[in-house]
A and B are shown apart, each in its own frame.
Chain A
Amino acid sequence: MSEFKTVFGSLENYEKGHIEIIDDDPKAYAFSNIFEVANQSAPYEKVVVGKNLKYVIETLRAEGDSDWYTCAHDEFVVCMDGEIEVHLVKLNNSASYTPENKEGSVKLESDPEGPKMGRIILRHGHQALLPKGSAYRFSNRKKPGVLIMQTICGDHSVEKWAEICYS
């Protein structure tokens, strides 16, 4: 038995930190908590919780089935809570969905056409590659989970800083 207890957060159990200001504006830190954000999100809403110019980290509440998405560059997800299935399809004509220079996730209007690439079941702490030019969909029929996604700010990214940040 370990003498150390590693503390992770979850949708149901998290404790948000805080900022002690000496000579500063708390808004400088754009401080939020991904579990608090996911508790207030619609299923698979791509809420931006980190933004470094065009690059973003999004928090997604994983509940039920998501739409299908594709992207012209690699994206990555890390499962922070729950059990989330990722379905991957190689798009027959990926350039028709996303020009090479298009950045961010792109929602598909209909089911993807192309061969299945595989399927991944993510649990706590697991990371998956969403390879460029593929279509992907998340599925979670169990209790709601949380993903963080590394991507670029795109058409479906949602920014609501004033609602989520410590101020």
Chain B
Amino acid sequence: MSAHAPALTDDHAHDHGHHHKETFITKYIFSQDHKMISKQYLITGLIMGFIGIAMSLLFRMQLAWPGESFPVFEAVLGKWAPDGVMDADIYLALVTIHGTIMVFFVLTAGLSGTFSNLLIPLQIGARDMASGFLNMISYWLFFISSVVMVISLFVEAGPAAAGWTIYPPLSALPMAQPGSGMGMTLWLVSMTIFIASSLLGSLNYIVTVLNLRTKGMSMTRLPLTIWAFFVTAVIGVISFPVLLSAGLLLLMDRSFGTSFFLSDIFIQGEVLHYQGGSPVLYEHLFWFLGHPEVYIVILPAMGIVSEVMAVGARKPIFGYRAMIASILAIAFLSTIVWGHHMFISGMNPFLGSVFTFTTLLIAIPSGVKAFNWITTLWKGNLQLNAGMLFSIGMVSTFITGGLTGIILGDSTLDINVHDTYFVVAHFHLVMGISALYGLFAGVYHWFPKMFQGRMMNKNLGYVHFWITAVGSYGIFFPMHFVGMAGVPRRYYQNTAFPMFDELVDIQELMTVFALITAAAQLIFVYNFVRSIFYGKRGPQNPWNATTLEWTTPQKHIHGNWPGAIPEVHRWCYDYSKVDENGEYIIPGQDFVPQHIPLQEGEEDYEH
């Protein structure tokens, strides 16, 4: 079922190569070239990440040294930190915006947007995305939504502060908290634009993967990166519209007095007119997106890790088909587990049982993936570049974080740990840190492809990895114990309960690790920016990879390949493949690129 690149696209490439004069604006700003758009996504995502992580440092300092006065608080938070002491409302706002930015702006747009754009056309052998124009619109909508989100930080009454899940009635009633006024409106506007951006992007990825694969590139020859991006896009298209409807209904409850999510409310001395709505309905709608969302975040990271790990191990990824099957299984199951966020929301306990069942099922394909990665390392010839280290690190944090999911997914056990720091520890490891590692692995690995052959400094990469690896465990491992002690999340300080007094030691330890780890990210920023301009140029295929992107010239051209698009003759994991005599297929070279025809007597992996 391999699709053929129509002759038309070839002509198109020649056109662009020679006739059009590109201006600064069409080349760098309103570019329709997927490679440029990918860089735009990456840089916007990194800037948002900087803001999100900086926020987490502020509230981590408040948690470790509650009520303490810090000059930085006053400097950054202004009126929200009188005399340098953080205010309780702004604490919640910081947590909310931190969560929103990290999940949506950094790890959805920044990760999936960057690498889907960069790799889909390059790895399937296409001149560009199916629609360069929609692709450009998608980026600019993302940009606008980022700007709106950042603007919301500056409104008079403060930004949204109802948690990243913005459960009504808290998020619906401006009198319930200051952040539920203008700040919440902007949050909703920003997310609406974000969803539009994400849908345009996803549709484009799906169409491109289905229609523009080069000759010979059957679905079962696709690199796992593409499978992951493809399935991610499908889940996005299925679930984001549901969040949009939740957001619109919430907007109507807020602005037009409807009662979708509200009923029987008495606040600030008066009864409100709302009747018959239910906050639980909102929770269903939110988590119908919310849970698939965590897979939207982690699947691209899994794809990247699979690819980088095979290249780094000089071995095929173990169990290629099982990997695809598990991506599909995870994608399917991810749409029917949302209720595990709602075991004690007041919904019927029988539903809780069903969701426990589906949730623990999803552990199985996740486990298969972890085992397959570990086996991929076995008897490899591991080239420990920074990208490879982050890939191994990702498997480690994914396992550590994933295992505690067994506790949280069990409705019984969730009763006592729901909404405590145990949950915060769990999702940071399994989703936050793991996906960030995937992002870093991708950046180190494909930097030469993005920046015309320049490479990032490897030693700075090593330092970045090791500090981050130690620091991440240092922050989030002890955090489980805070949760097991019963500390609820979204608490401005824990001083109101003497039973939490003795936890202040752990809090300080975690904050110190957070500060160090965040500082280590500056090494990455430095390395990234410096390498863009002064990075050493490596060979065309620096990691000796088999996939098509490394057959394009280092210098970016519109249409990707100067001549015809290469044809594909084999799957993409022919690393260290040998003939009957134990010699490499291509003498002296431990890999066979996808565009090299099968040699005499050689069998393809997929028969």
Q: Do A and B come from one complex?
A: no
Point out residues on B near A: beta carbons under 8 Å.
none
Point out residues on A near B: beta carbons under 8 Å.
none
